[in-house]
Structure 1
Amino acid sequence: MTTDATDVTDVTDKENDPAVLARQPVGSVTDAAHREVIAYIRGRLGELGLTQPQYWVIRFLHPEDLSADGSGRTPAELAELLAPYLLPQDRPAEDAEDLVGRGLLTRDAAGRLWLAEPGRQAHARVKEILPGLRAHIHDGIDDADYASAVRVLRRMMRNVGGPTALERYPL
């Protein structure tokens, strides 16, 4: 069960004051939220023996996820697909090599990477925990408040980047 964000008892009055909140720089707030959420997600994936970029590699090779047909892909193709999601420190080619070395992926004679059965199993383990991760991240936030926050952020994106900003980050 979630509660109204203003009912949260572990924040100060200042953190619930609309006037204070309205003066916060959007870049600072969104950067802090991004860092905290990504650290949380990456920590939970790490408990399963995966980095977030490794999970994305698996997703882009899985026929029931981001691969339309389960076809293999080259490391360069994967790097291009992953580029919008990566942080500066991420190394998708090294992550893919690690997955090959651990038997989660295989490589054919043409250098294309394919999802192996252990990779499918890793994908399934992550899919099992995702609802709990989302529930934890969204705890105390109802869907209407979350939708409002997304709507506001997307409007800011359009304000500063024009309509093409929303095309770069489709829903």
Structure 2
Amino acid sequence: MQNTDAELAAQPAGYWTGVAYEAIISFTRAQQAELGFTQPQFWLLRNLSKNDISPDGHGMTIPELQKAMSSYIRPEDDLKAEAEVLLERGWLTRDGEGRLWITESGDEARASLKQHAPAIRARIHQGINEADYVTTLKVLQRMIDNVGGDTQAS
């Protein structure tokens, strides 16, 4: 049974945004797992890549990476363990100071993994027109502003 507009208007936004967040993250991570990588592994590669986050290509330690990812990393994400997997694959190297560096094969893997994002996004957005999506985000941003949150993060 569908809720009426009046019933939906009375629903708590915090509940539904939480449910949406968990469902979308679970779906995204499951899709990535089927492709043989994890979301934190992609984030590590992205943060160490010369092409995306770090244009100068500086290596970073695990604490530096945790700080750089603080707005989106989840409590259960173990960056040290994820980095070990990437080191074993030869996608990262570690210097004597514990800084991680992306390798050429790691950057190629990052670019390859990134190619899957549009299909995952398309599945999440299926049946939602762009105008409705934009309106939803504007409403969420307004709610965030209303409670003193930060809408500048993206």
TM-score normalised per structure 1? 0.83
> Is the aligned partner of 1:118 residue 2:105?
yes
Aligned residue number for residue 38 of structure 1: 25
Displacement, 1:92?
Answer: 1.3
Counterpart secondary structure, 1:13: coil
Displacement, 1:131?
Answer: 1.0
Aligned residue number for residue 166 of structure 1: 150
Can you list the C-alpha shifts for 1:146-169, whole angstroms capped at 9, x where unaligned?
1111111111111112xxx225x4
| Partners of 2:97 and 2:27 in 1: CA distance | 37
Question: Cα RMSD between the aligned structures?
Answer: 1.5
Structure 1 consecutive aligned stretches of length 4 or more whose deviation exceeds 2 Å: none
| Partners of 1:22 and 1:39 in 2: CA distance | 26
> Is the aligned partner of 1:106 residue 2:90?
no
Displacement, 1:97?
Answer: 2.0
Displacement, 1:99?
Answer: 1.2
Displacement, 1:13?
Answer: 2.9
Which structure 2 residues correspond to residues 86-105 of structure 1 after superposition, within 5 A? 86-105=73-92
Counterpart secondary structure, 1:83: coil
How many residues are paired up? 154
Aligned residue number for residue 145 of structure 1: 132
Counterpart secondary structure, 1:85: coil
| Partners of 1:26 and 1:103 in 2: CA distance | 44
Displacement, 1:35?
Answer: 0.6
Higher relative contact order structure (alpha carbons within 8 Å, sequence separation ≥ 6): 1
Can you list the C-alpha shifts for 1:37-72, whole angstroms capped at 9, x where unaligned?
001111111122221111111100111111122221
Counterpart secondary structure, 2:101: strand
Counterpart secondary structure, 1:84: coil
- For structure 1, the 5+ residue unaligned runs are 1-11
TM-score normalised per structure 2? 0.92
From the two aligned structures, give the one with the greater helix fraction.
1
- For structure 2, the 5+ residue unaligned runs are none
